Amino acid sequence: MSKTCSVLVVGAGVTGLAAAALLAKCGHAGRLQITVIDAAPRPVFDPAADVALRVSAIALGSVGLLDAIGAWRQVLETRAGPYESMRVWDESIEPDSHGALQFDAAEFAVPQLGFIVENVLIQHALLAVLDKLDVELRFNTPVDRFDADLVIGADGARSFVREHYGIEAREFPYGQTAVVTHLRPEQPHRRAALQRFTQQGPLGLLPLADGRVSAVWSVADKLAARAQEASDTELGEMLTEASDFALGRLEVAGPRGAFPLCARHAAHYVMPGLALIGDAAHAVHPLAGQGANLGLQDAAQLAEVVDAALGAGEFPGDRRVLRRYERARKGENATMLHFMTGLNRLFATDSALVRELRVHGMRLFNHSGPIRSHAVRVALGVGR
Ligand SMILES: Cc1cc2nc3c(=O)[nH]c(=O)nc-3n(C[C@H](O)[C@H](O)[C@H](O)COP(=O)(O)OP(=O)(O)OC[C@H]3O[C@@H](n4cnc5c(N)ncnc54)[C@H](O)[C@@H]3O)c2cc1C
C-alpha cells in the first residue's frame, strides 16, 4: 500500500516519542511515513550509572499508555520506584495531622498510585520500541524544514516549531526556580510522595526505588541561586528545614540542577498541517507532577484522531481533523495549568486569613467523598 501521509515529529522527548510509537502502531499505520528528529544526541540510558537527576511521577493512566505501546515492561524491569501514598500539607500544620491531605493506593483498590521514573529511561524504552517499527529516527538534527503533510511540534516549552508557525503562547512567570536533587532521608520514605507547601514555595519529595528521595524545591529565583551555591551540607539543612523533618534529616546524595519555572499555554494547538503536543503546547508548574502525564495524553489523543481520520478517508493534516484533537485536550490542559498556578499563589500568601481558609479547605476536601475521589482519579489519569 502506498504511504499517503508524511508525518514529521519534531522533538524526541517523552511526548514526541510516544506520539511516534502510537502512530506507528495504529490501525492505519501502513499509510503513514513517520520521521522523528531531535536537535540533541540520541539519549543514552546506562543502568549501571546513578539515578539521573530528571525523574517524573508517572500516573497510572500513563503507565497504561506506555504499556500499550510496549515500553512499560522495560521501564519496570530496569528501575521504577512505586509510590503507594501521597501526603500534602501546609507549613502551619504537622504532616500527620487531620488537616493534611492523604491518599493511599489501597482506598482506590490499586497496588500503587504511580511510579517515579527517570525521564531518560522512558525515552530509552520508547526508542527500543521505535527501533523495531517503520519509523525514521534522526538525532543531532535541529529542525529546518517543515515539508511533511503533518508536523507534530513536540519540541518542549521553548518550542521553535510554535514560534516558526507564529503561534503565540501566553506566559505566566512564577518568579520561581525548581531546585532539584536526590536526598538520603534519615527515616525510610515508605513509598510515600510528600509535598509541603511553605511561603517560600512547595517542596516535593518523591520516593526513589533505592531508598533516596528526589527533591523538587520550587522557590524564588534568589533563594534558588543561594541553594545552588550552598555546600551539600548547607543544602541538606535547608531542605530538612523546608520539609519540617518529615523524613528526619535529609542529606544531599546526588547531582543537582535548577529549572526556571514559567507556565505557558499556546493560543492554539493546531493549524493546517500542524499539531503541538506536550510542553510545546502547555508547560505547567511541576508541583503536581503532571507535565509529562499531560503530554502523554496529548500524544494518545492525537494518534487516535489521526487513525480515525485515515479510517474515514479524511486527510490527517486538515485543520478540521486536527481541531478534534485540540478540542479534546486544550480545555483539560488549561484547567490543570490554571489550577497549578492558582494553588501555587494560594499557598505563597502570608495572609493569616488565607492560611486558615487553606487548612480548613484541605480538611473539608479530605472529607468531601465524591469530590475528593474525583480529584484523585484525575491525578491518577484513570478517568474523569
Ligand atoms: C523540575 C521539574 C520536575 C518535573 N516533574 C514532573 C513529574 O513529576 N511528573 C510529570 O509528569 N512531569 C514533570 N515535569 C514536567 C515534564 O518534565 C515535562 O512536562 C516533560 O518532560 C515534557 O516533555 P516533552 O516531550 O513535551 O518536552 P521535552 O522533554 O522538553 O522534549 C523536547 C525535545 O525537543 C527537542 N528539541 C527542542 N528544540 C528542537 C529543535 N529546534 N529541533 C529539533 N528538536 C528540538 C529537545 O532536544 C528535546 O529532546 C517536571 C518538570 C520540571 C521542570
Does residue 315 belong to any structural domain of this protein? yes
The proportion of the chain whose per-residue pLDDT surpasses 70, expressed as a percent, equals 88
The residue whose CA has the least distance to atom 19 of ligand 1 is 291
Does residue 162 belong to any structural domain of this protein? yes
Give CA–CA dist 349/359, Å, rounded. Answer: 13
Higher pLDDT among residues 95 and 158, named by residue: 158
Closest CA to 34 of 65, 3, 11: 3
Atom of ligand 1 nearest to the CA of 11: 34
- Residue pair 113/87 in contact (Cβ under 8 Å)? The answer is no
Q: pLDDT tens digit string along 74-125?
A: 999 999 999 999 998 988 888 888 888 888 898 888 999 999 999 999 999 9
- Distance of CA 178 from the midpoint of ligand 1 (Å): 14
Give CA–CA dist 282/298, Å, rounded. Answer: 10
Q: pLDDT tens digit string along 209-242?
A: 999 999 999 999 999 999 999 999 999 999 999 9
Q: pLDDT tens digit string along 336-368?
A: 777 766 666 666 666 666 666 666 666 666 666
- Distance of CA 43 from the midpoint of ligand 1 (Å): 13
What pLDDT, on a 0 to 100 scale, did the predictor assign at position 88? 87
- Distance of CA 12 from the midpoint of ligand 1 (Å): 9
- Beta strand pairing status for 274-276 and 169-185? unpaired
Helices (H), the chain: 14-24, 60-69, 72-78, 119-130, 160-164, 221-229, 232-242, 291-311, 319-348, 352-366, 370-380
The answer to whether residue 139 scores a pLDDT higher than 50 is yes
The residue whose CA has the least distance to atom 20 of ligand 1 is 292
Q: pLDDT tens digit string along 236-293?
A: 999 999 999 999 999 999 999 999 998 899 999 999 999 999 999 999 888 777 889 9
- Distance of CA 28 from the midpoint of ligand 1 (Å): 28
Residue 382's pLDDT band (cuts 50, 70, 90): low
Does residue 287 belong to any structural domain of this protein? yes
Atom of ligand 1 nearest to the CA of 293: 11
Q: pTM for this structure?
A: 0.92
What pLDDT, on a 0 to 100 scale, did the predictor assign at position 101? 84
Domain that holds residue 300: 5-81+116-172+263-380
Q: Which residue has the cell 527501533?
A: 131
Q: pLDDT tens digit string along 163-185?
A: 999 999 999 888 899 999 999 99
Does residue 348 belong to any structural domain of this protein? yes
The residue whose CA has the least distance to atom 50 of ligand 1 is 286
Pocket flag, ligand 1, residue 194 (CB < 6 Å)? no
Among 35, 36, 38, which residue has the most ligand 1 atoms within 8 Å of its CB, making it the best to mutate?
38
What pLDDT, on a 0 to 100 scale, did the predictor assign at position 384? 46
- Distance of CA 115 from the midpoint of ligand 1 (Å): 18
Number of domains in the chain: 1
Pocket flag, ligand 1, residue 257 (CB < 6 Å)? no
Pocket flag, ligand 1, residue 204 (CB < 6 Å)? no
- Distance of CA 207 from the midpoint of ligand 1 (Å): 21
Does residue 268 belong to any structural domain of this protein? yes
**In this structure, what CATH number is given to the domain that contains residue 62?**
3.50.50.60
Does residue 45 belong to any structural domain of this protein? yes
C-alpha cell at 268: 492554539
Residue 376's pLDDT band (cuts 50, 70, 90): low
